[in-house]
Structure 1
Amino acid sequence: MIGSRQPQSSQTGASSRQARYPPALAGSFNPQFGLDGPAERWHSHRERLHEQVCREGFDPKLNSFVQSYGAQQLDASLLLLPLVGFLPADDPRIEGTVATIERSLLKDGFVARYNTGSTVDGLPGDEGAFLACSFWLADNYILQGRHDDARALFDRLLAVRNDVGLLAEEYDPGARRQVGNFPQAFSHVALINTAHNLTRAYGPAQHRAESKETIGHNIDAGEQPA
């Protein structure tokens, strides 16, 4: 998960997705490097978890994946689903999730991690927009063929860098200043990936989205397995 605030819920779609990382990675590394291990069992667990997230983590009424099973709250980390190959970017559930995040979490041109007014995260107050999430939205635009939207969002994000080109964890559009951890590696890795995706017809987002063997492997997206 990203950031210092963690929503208090029994089971989140994002955490279930992360639970797929170890078996998915192991299943990929086993044939690639000839390592010993129960690859078939790992692949079986991966598919069971994938089916569970699709069944329990998607709300048909919202037409979107949600922050936790049975909830209606959103979480911008769901933008990683197509970036890691969980589902293709043109899957109606992914398209619905992106559209719902745009309507609910896109504020003043930047993406909030989640709605702090409806999510119980155990901490008081609001927070700024997560810059990495905003870059992930740009990556989704690219995968959906919305290159003009991706470029506009990317340019908006570049404009908030400081005088030496560094980014923090978050940005406060109201105060027009960066907030949170500084400098933040997530933000810079996401910037690099989005720039690469914009300048190449086949960037890392497209590669991971189409690679079945790297399902759940999220290094290029700037997030390590939990």
Structure 2
Amino acid sequence: MELPHIGKCCTKKGCQQLDFLPVICKHCRHVFCSLHASITEHSCSYERKTNDRQQEGINMVPISFYTKPSRDAPNHSSKLQKNILSTEQIQALTTLKHTSSTTGGSPSALKHKVRISPKIELMRLKARATGNGSIDVVDRFYLSVMWKGKSAPVYINRNALVGSSAMQFARNLHLSTLPGNIYRLKPLNADDTLPSNKTFNELLADTGDLTSSSNPELFNGCSLELVCFIAPKSE
């Protein structure tokens, strides 16, 4: 039994279903069935107007609102500009860093580095040197013997011959002392070796600890390089 006078038909296009409990949209005031009662289901004109107003509000926002910085905002670009180094500054820092790494010190240490006096260096050498304890203190000649980049602090009798002292240093360093191997002593910055037939005391200009006029690089506490010569074999 049909009751057309009870209920109303849905106004949604394509639906027209008779609903005994119809719903009237509070926005567009049209009648809809329970399936199309929501504003999204029947494409309510109120929803379209709301979306249009929201989109219109976004479009009306001035572009300067996004791009123009606020007056109260901090100026970060100026700070970044201050931290940019020039090419010359970068090269100077690189050179300073390389110098610091090769010398084993920091830039501040290089700036304030003070040269140690020869007397202090001699005192340190005396504290580490080894030798024959029977040599009288006043007759001791202190030096650092260099061999292949290594240093050995020693003391000998200043009246000893240079040649015999060089051979003694070679034996102390456990070097080969075969008859064909000849050892000599040479100042670090000199081309010629010291004469082997003279004593250290004879080579010194005076018997003071730190001065020598005839051999500027020969003094008490100096460094001498031990060099080896191989004599040619006789046929």
Pairwise TM-score range, normalised by the shorter structure: under 0.3
More helix by proportion, 1 or 2? Answer: 1
Bigger-Rg structure (1/2): 2
More strand by proportion, 1 or 2? Answer: 2
Q: Using structure 2 for the length normalisation, give the TM-score.
A: 0.25
Higher relative contact order (CA 8 A, sep 6+): 1
